[in-house]
Every structure is written in C-alpha cells, then in structure tokens.
Amino acid sequence: MRTLKTHHIVFLVCAAAAPLTVVSAGVTAAYAASGLAGVPLGYLICGGLVAMFALGFCAMAKEIPNTAAFFSYVSAGLGKSHGLAASWLAIISYSMMQTALVCLLGFMAEDLLLRVTGRSVTWVLFSIVAVILVGTLGVRSADLASRIIGFLLILEFLTVLFFCIVVLINRGHDLAVGTFSPMSLIGGGTGTLLAFTIAGFMGIESSSMYAEETEDPGKTIPRATLISIAVISVFYGFSSWAIAQSVGEDNVITAAQEQGSTLFFTYLGSHGFTALVPFLQALLVTSLFAAVVSFHNSISRYLMALGREHVLWKSLGRVTADGVPRTASVSQSCLAIVVVIAMWLTQKTLNMDDSFPSDIVFSWASNAGGFGLIFLFLVTSISVLRYFTRRERKYSSFITTYSPVVAIVGFGAMFVLVLLNFKNLIGDAELWYLVFVIPGVILSCGIAGFARGEYLRKKRPAIYQNIGSGHSPELPCGESLGK
C-alpha cells in the first residue's frame, strides 16, 4: 500500500538533518573547529551543490524507482560491482551517523535528568531504550513514523525560530552580513567548515528510499527532495547567521570555542528564558530521536534491497503488506544495541570520562559518516552523468549533463579539502593516526563491497546479473542461482 505523500517524505528527510541538533551543536562546532566565520555562506554553498546533485539524482529516481538509491543508481551508471561497493559504503556511513546520534542522545538525556532531578542514570540505558523505541516504529509503516517525526520537527523549527527572534529583538549591536562574504569562508579551516556544513544535509538523498511506499513516486520524490534541500539550506543559513549575531560576528569564533553547544541555551537563559531551557534541552533529545528514526529507516531499506536481491541474507528482503522491511528493521535494531553496548564497554575499559559519548563517539563517528556521504555524492554524480550519456535524451542537458558536472567538480574539491583537514576534525594531535584510520575504515567497506560483487560475478552469475534490479533473481524466470 502506497501511503506516503510529499509532506511525509519531507518530514522524514529533514528529520535526518536534526535541525535543533545542528543549530545548537553543529553550527557552534563549525565556528569553533574551523576558526572561520563563513558558516552561513557554507550552508548556502553546500545547499546549492546538493541541489545540483539532486537534479540528476531525481531524474535517476524516475528511471529506476529502487529503495536503495546509491546502490541501484551506481549499478546502472558504473557497473554492478561498483553499485555493491556504494551500497556497503552507504550502510557504513549511515550506521556511523546513527551510532553518533544515539550515543549523543544518551549523553544529553543523562545530562538533562541530572540537571532536572539531581539523579544520574548512565547514558547507555537511555541509548538502548531509544534504539528499542526506534525499532518499534521501524516495524510499522513509515507513515506512522512520519507523523511522529513531523510533530517533533515542527517543535524543532519553532524552537530555532524563537531563538532567532530573540536575537533580532535583543541585539546589542548593528546587524552585519560579513558571514556571507566569500572571504569569511577562505582560510586554513575551509575543509573543516565544509565538512560540518555538508553534514547538515546528511540523509537528503533518503527521499528515494521510500519510492515503493509513496504515491506517484515519479513526482513525489523529486518534489520532496528539492523542497527539503531548499528548507534546510535557507533555515541553516539564517540560523547560523543568527548565532553569529547573538554574540557579534567578531566574537562568534571565540564564543563558540569557549561555550560550545551551550551557547544557544546560555543566550536564551541570559535573556529571561531560563525556565524554558530545560524544556528546550528536552527537545534536543527528541531531535536526536527523530534523526535516529530516519537513519534507522534508511539502513533498514538498504538491507532489505540487498536481501531481496540475495546479495546478503535473503530473509532481509522480506516486507509486510505495507512494504515495511520488518526483518531488516529488527536485525538493524539488534545490531545497533550491540554497537551501543560496545561503545559503553570501550568507555569503561579505557577508563574514559562521562563525555566519551559526546566528545569521542559523536565527533568521530559523525565525521566518518559525513566523509562517506561526500564520497557517495561524488560517485553517484559520476554515475548519473555516465548513465544519461549512454541513453536517448528524455531530460534537458542541464539536468543530465551540466548539473552532474557541477556536482562532480564541487564534491571532488570538497572530498580533497575534507581529507586534507581531517586532523582538525579529530581534534587531538596525539591521535594523528586516526586521520588515516577513520577514512580508511569507510573506504575499506566500499572496497569490500566491490570485492563481493566480483565474487558474485565469478561464482554466482545469476545473482550478479540481477544486482540493482530491485527484485529477487528468482522472480523473472526462475532460473538457477548457481552454486
């Protein structure tokens, strides 16, 4: 049953971007880590680049309505083994982001409970409960998750807009627009800034994953994708500008480095809204919950697509009458619980302090996921260009040629800049080796996926030939799957 409409998809996509989390924590981190004031401009540039990517991406969605977007599109454009590599890279990137968010959720919930009641409960319990709740939603129709997420998302947007209004009303200096100057974006931390701003668009491509659960996907998916990009670009650009105005553009970098994510709440508290701060911090926890729901849905649908084509355990491909990948969702939830417990045990084994889920897990895992996303955008843009150059023209050259080329150049440059600035993202000079380890782990998963594709090509040709098709290799003609 196809029940999802445009606004449902927009809610699910924007939830992955976690607006309140990005504005209160991500924006300040971008100012602090990069040492540059051009964060608002960075969001607008990344939004424009993602929009260029989305034009060709949405055209592919019309041609190939498959739940696993990167998987099927790269398979069609570059080859089946490359498509499998993209799918594994997508799964590890999304999983990294989910791990980062669910651990941060536990940390924020623990801190909130301590502030409000004075009682302390370890963060891992909150994270596990969150995973169980997310898993419960994951085995239901995405329509239900969208309704819940939509409500939470509206509260997030209203909270950030409230902050912006307070800034505009209580400004102690003239408003400035220096953060939109190109010079504010240029410096030694340009790659670091772009890494943070592109992470705000993480999950924007997930719109196509609901193609099989959507009314008229040929129109709904492109419309929802472009609406989401426009909303996120403008909203983040304006909100990050307001953050700078709250302390002054000349002081925003220093303030972000000294106060971190507390800058957002401290400002509201200092302007007569102290009583609201605990409530707004609770909304930050629900913001993280909504984002985890979105990433859970994305991962589950990737696992379902791979299981359906027998590339992974074929039982993962089972769906309900509503198209919900129940087996994949339950499997993903179980794995998420194992990972959360592993992070907690790592903290205890290494005798790390209580900031471990925030300062270590969230920082490193989110950076790893963002790095993987940039590479996926780059590879998918190349696939889109190659796919349409080999077919009869059905769309304008701007959609099938020029916009993918712009995306390739943009994401290629961004990939290099982030890689060169990865040491800034790690944040600890003594851990210099992670500059190689974290990108290496992400890219190794892609290599492993490619190797799996080559194995299938030689040993299981029927499965290999079916890669990216969106259906079981047994369905078309009942041919033997080989040994």
Q: Which range in 4-8, 59-63, 265-269, 321-325 is most confidently predicted, on average pLDDT?
A: 265-269
For the cut 90, the answer to whether the pLDDT of residue 476 exceeds it is no
The pLDDT value given to residue 2: 59
User: How large is the average pLDDT for residues 172-199?
Assistant: 85
- Per-residue pLDDT tens for 81-101? 999 999 999 899 989 989 999
User: Per-residue confidence at 128, pLDDT binned at 50, 70, 90?
Assistant: very high
Q: Which range in 199-203, 309-313, 452-456 is most confidently predicted, on average pLDDT?
A: 452-456
User: What is the value of pTM for the model shown?
Assistant: 0.85
Of 141-155, 235-249, 410-424, minimum mean pLDDT range: 141-155
Of 108-117, 198-207, 256-265, 412-421, minimum mean pLDDT range: 198-207
The pLDDT value given to residue 234: 92
The pLDDT value given to residue 172: 66
HEC letters along the chain = CCCECHHHHHHHHHHHHCHHHHHHHHHHHHHHHHCCCCHHHHHHHHHHHHHHHHHHHHHHHHHCCCCCHHHHHHHHHCCHHHHHHHHHHHHHHHHHHHHHHHHHHHHHHHHHHHHHHCCCCCHHHHHHHHHHHHHHHHCCCHHHHHHHHHHHHHHHHHHHHHHHHHHHHCCCCCCCCHHHCHHHHCCCCHHHHHHHHHHCCCCHHHHHHHHHHECCHHHHHHHHHHHHHHHHHHHHHHHHHHHHHHHCCCCHHHHHHHHCCHHHHHHHHHCCCHHHHHHHHHHHHHHHHHHHHHHHHHHHHHHHHHHHCCCCCHHHHCCCCCCCCHHHHHHHHHHHHHHHHHHHHHHHHCCCCCCHHHHHHHHHHHHHHHHHHHHHHHHHHHHHHHHHHCCCCCCCHHHHHHHHHHHHHHHHHHHHHHHHCHHHHHCCHHHCCHHHHHHHHHHHHHHHHHHHHHHHHHHCHHHHHHCCCCCCCCCCCCCCCCC
- Per-residue pLDDT tens for 271-307? 889 888 888 889 889 889 988 988 898 899 889 988 9
Which of the pair, 331 or 367, is modelled with greater confidence?
331
